[in-house]
Amino acid sequence: MQISARGDYAVRAALSLATAYPSLLSTQAIAAEQDMPRKFLEAVLADLRRAGIVRAQRGAEGGYTLARPPREVTVGAVLRAVEGPLAGVRGLRPEETRYEGSAENLPGLWVAVRAAVRRVVDEVSLAEIVSGRLPAHVRRLTAMPDAWEPR
């Protein structure tokens, strides 16, 4: 799975909002805290607002806040709001792929990859990341001997 800059910025902005919840944060404050370009952040926040993940309030005291408590917002929801489906194969959903011959069973692997990604991003809330208390099954993944090694 490749996380784009847009996805990374969206999750980081959501974490800033989770930390401040239920208070409002300006785009300027988020951009400064997370060291990201304000214009790009504004586009990301617009996607999150359209998806119902954040609320915007206009005015001098305006800003953004999460639409729901941080424990109810998953990383998967944030990523989907800005990236679309989590796993795709040449622009298709894994279950839409079809192959002939020796690759005929490959769709099953692509569906399993998507399920594995979901098992992490859909089961970790913003509150868990902010608190540093990830679910046990996610902690076990990060504790695997080769988890932190590049391949």
* CATH number for the domain that contains residue 118: 1.10.10.10
pLDDT given at position 135: 96
Q: Establish if 149 belongs to a structural domain.
A: no
What's the structural domain count of the chain? Answer: 1
Mean pLDDT by runs of 10 across the 151 residues of the chain is: 92 98 96 96 97 93 95 98 90 90 95 94 97 96 93 84
Helices 75-83/106-121 angle, 10° precision:
120
Q: Which domain holds residue 12?
A: 5-142
**Between the CA atoms of 118, 121, 122 and 127, what dihedral angle is there, to the nearest 10 degrees?**
170
123-5-112 Cα angle (round to 5):
40
Q: Establish if 48 belongs to a structural domain.
A: yes
pLDDT given at position 36: 96
Q: Establish if 148 belongs to a structural domain.
A: no
Predicted TM-score of the model (pTM): 0.91
Q: Establish if 147 belongs to a structural domain.
A: no
Q: Establish if 37 belongs to a structural domain.
A: yes
Q: Establish if 151 belongs to a structural domain.
A: no
pLDDT given at position 87: 85
Q: Establish if 103 belongs to a structural domain.
A: yes
pLDDT given at position 128: 98
